[in-house]
């Protein structure tokens, strides 16, 4: 499924949960409709690529992104805060996935969907956080090598035909000053939208495979390497149990994410650009009213505390208290 379909599924699961409906049946309906999850979702990405059982696949993907071959290849990975089967999603030191290779060098992956004015600041900030964690034990200033990978759903270099960019600290003559750290930016959206049919690199193979899965398309066994086929199995919605999906649905309250989806839908419907923001915000406000109505029903049942209802419906305690007063309770 794509990003919007994944968000819609989580919203439906959460609505069913807070209404005391049959969550298992709700999830089963989505499993009949969709075969795969949205791979680039933070939690899904970590569950797929951050599981010990998928370490060989993750190493293959990282080698493709970093263009590592022969003796320079990543041969083994040890995850920092790995994905735990059935457990909730937890970021590792501000990033989606953090691992150490066989030489104890750090590899970081951050999946980014929003290309606003702050994204460069965020990348530098995240890199700084990991730099502090990347010291050689027992030495004050010595740092290990680190690769920071940013998978971006927007363009950082819109004028460039390249979709992969390597950034290092250099001087005015383009000479490398510090070679231990590399930031590799992969413009996923540019690759998907662009004409890269002649690109047969391992990274291109992986990006096409992930896009096939997000579009609910099975992979051709003759066209892809074994590790990419492993991805097809790892990304199946059936592998994501009810506990994982309910946890995701319960805690996914990123309003900016919702607004972005609404803006996209509004533009697709041919709305004027100047009206898109108001339309999106209007829909979100409508959903707040829906949450208020659901909260009122639960208040009338008297089976939950104000705090529990506030958490269930993503409302403040004060909002729930006011709703309770409006019902004369």
The two structure tokens encoding residue 187: 């413009």
Q: Is the pLDDT of residue 283 over 90?
A: no
**Sequence-distant (≥ 6) Cβ neighbours of residue 178 within 8 angstroms:** 168, 169
For range 246-273, the mean pLDDT = 58
In angstroms, the CA 164 to CA 103 distance is 25
Identify the band that residue 262 occupies on the pLDDT scale cut at 50, 70 and 90: low
Q: For residues 207 and 281, which has the higher predicted lDDT (pLDDT)?
A: 207
Q: What is the pLDDT of residue 94?
A: 60
In angstroms, the CA 81 to CA 109 distance is 13
Nearest in space to 79 (alpha carbons), one of 60, 55, 61, 63: 55
Of 119-133, 171-185, 276-290, 309-323, which range is least confident? 276-290
Q: What is the largest CA-CA distance in the chain?
A: 73
For range 43-63, the mean pLDDT = 93
For range 247-269, the mean pLDDT = 58
In angstroms, the CA 289 to CA 323 distance is 11
**CB-CB contact of 209 with 225 (8 Å):** no
Task: Match 């309250």 to its residue by tokens.
Answer: 253
In angstroms, the CA 168 to CA 58 distance is 24
Q: For residues 73 and 227, which has the higher predicted lDDT (pLDDT)?
A: 73
Q: For residues 275 and 169, which has the higher predicted lDDT (pLDDT)?
A: 169
**CB-CB contact of 99 with 78 (8 Å):** yes
């Amino acid at each position: 499924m794509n990003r919007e379909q994944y968000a819609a599924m989580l919203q439906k699961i959460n609505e069913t949960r807070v209404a005391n409906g049959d969550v298992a049946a709700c999830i089963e309906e989505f499993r009949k409709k969709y075969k795969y999850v949205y791979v680039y979702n933070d939690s899904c990405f970590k569950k797929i690529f951050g599981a010990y059982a998928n370490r060989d696949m993750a190493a293959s993907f990282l080698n493709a992104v970093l263009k590592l071959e022969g003796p320079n290849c990543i041969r083994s990975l040890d995850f920092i805060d790995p994905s735990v089967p059935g457990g909730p999603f937890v970021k590792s030191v501000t990033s989606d996935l953090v691992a150490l290779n066989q030489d104890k060098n750090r590899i970081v992956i951050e999946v980014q969907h929003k290309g606003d004015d702050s994204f460069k600041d965020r990348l530098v900030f995240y890199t700084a956080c990991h730099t502090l964690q990347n010291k050689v034990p027992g030495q004050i200033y010595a740092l290990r090598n680190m690769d920071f990978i940013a998978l971006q759903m927007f363009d950082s270099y819109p004028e460039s035909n390249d979709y992969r960019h390597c950034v290092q600290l250099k001087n005015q003559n383009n000479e490398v000053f510090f070679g231990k750290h590399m930031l590799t930016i992969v413009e996923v959206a540019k690759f998907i939208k662009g004409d890269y049919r002649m690109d047969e690199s391992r990274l291109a193979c992986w990006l096409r495979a992930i896009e096939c899965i997000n579009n609910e398309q099975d992979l051709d066994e003759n066209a892809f390497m074994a590790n990419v086929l492993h991805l097809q199995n790892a990304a199946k919605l059936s592998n994501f149990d009810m506990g994982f999906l309910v946890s995701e649905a319960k805690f996914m309250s990123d309003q900016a994410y919702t607004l972005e989806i609404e803006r996209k839908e509004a533009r697709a419907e041919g709305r004027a650009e100047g009206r898109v923001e108001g339309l999106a915000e209007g829909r979100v406000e409508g959903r707040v009213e829906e949450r208020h109505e659901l909260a009122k029903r639960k208040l009338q049942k008297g089976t939950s505390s104000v705090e529990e209802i506030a958490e269930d419906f993503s409302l403040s305690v004060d909002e729930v208290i006011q709703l309770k007063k409006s019902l004369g309770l």
